[in-house]
Chain A
């Protein structure tokens, strides 16, 4: 009971963050709730082994791993490595200016991103985590965090420019 309440005080304030990540990764309410719930159960089990540090990245790591397990069960290959990363990384010589971003367009663009791009965008922009924290969560080098963010943002920019008729 004591441990339980320590867990509640430490972890439950980050329940929104856990659900938000799960929701962005699964892209639907029902699966998000399943993943977030399972992640919280895992977190409760692992809590004794938690050796300090910020709770939120730790919990988000568990959410991400739970999502991967859920993917395997669902036989969806969302997190499979991308094959054409390099193309979208190329700098277009004449850069068009984004004048306005519509919420609807942006949301569709985010949902259309591959999960591993969506993940870094959510962790960086919505959770405002550092590259180091994102690297720990996603299990990638810090340099990869930056290049992944670069590609993700590049794609978003293209989608937004297309969506606004440019």
Chain B
């Protein structure tokens, strides 16, 4: 093997790429040639220097951002979806809330008006068998009229009213000196809960396609009791 050949094979040897025959031949040459041995030593030194001192350039953050559109788009898309969902939920809540608020304000107005204008009742009667038929022909639904006199909420009458731009039956109950207006009208709503406004308490529920809103200056606990009795009358 000539020195010229050895100086090239040196690199294959250094890189572990020589086959066995070439490896043995190269090693034999190296043992008998100081210059090639020194050349080999130099290349080993150089390799160590390159591997330890030549910079390995890491991808800058800006490049990482650019080639990962999916990764930073995903949170963006997610955020956008969430925002839409939140907006949607908020709109639904707001619609629900605003419709409830509208009703609550109607209910309170109706209640106040009934007391102020001395127009509490069109049909003053404690007899539900008088009150219920009275609504026939005046409304396109038949409100469930219950007498809760034995439970301390006597029925005192009924009248026609108007809530949420719909004709409503107003059933009037009494609790001590407090008047309870129970507004009933046709509605697909499913809202249920309590409201409080201008010192009046309200409790409302839905049943069989009818909305029930009870309003009174009665305390909330007793109004709630009234609501429960209305929904589950004692037998």
Residues on A close to B: CB < 8 A?
1, 4-5, 8, 12, 15-16, 18-20, 23-24, 29, 32-33, 36-37, 40-41, 89-91, 93-98, 101, 103, 106-107, 110, 121, 124-126, 130-131, 142, 146-147, 149-150, 153-154, 156-157, 160
A-B contact count (CB 8 A): 122
Chain B at the A interface: SS class: helix
A125 touches B47 (CB 8 A): yes
Looking at chain A's contact residues, the main secondary structure is helix
Contact B70 A19 (CB under 8 A): no
Q: Give A5 to B69 CA distance when docked, in angstroms.
A: 11
Distance in Å: Cβ of A119 to nearest Cβ of chain B: 13
Cβ contacts under 8 Å, A91 to chain B: 3-4, 6-7, 35-36, 39
Q: How far is the CA of A107 from the CA of B12 in the complex (A)?
A: 24
In the bound assembly, the distance between CA atoms of A157 and B62 in angstroms comes to 36
Seed contacts A106-B49, A146-B17; 20 additional CB < 8 Å A-B pairs: A12-B64, A12-B67, A16-B56, A19-B58, A24-B57, A29-B60, A37-B63, A37-B66, A41-B67, A93-B35, A95-B38, A96-B38, A98-B41, A106-B54, A107-B53, A125-B54, A126-B50, A149-B15, A157-B42, A160-B46
Contact of B17 among A23, A32, A96, A131 (CB under 8 A): A131
Q: What is the bound-complex CA distance between A153 and B10, given in angstroms?
A: 11
Q: Chain B interface: which size bin?
A: 35 or more
With contacts A1-B70, A90-B4 known, is A95 near B60, CB below 8 A?
Answer: no
CA distance A147 to B41 in the complex (A): 18
B235 within 8 A of A: no
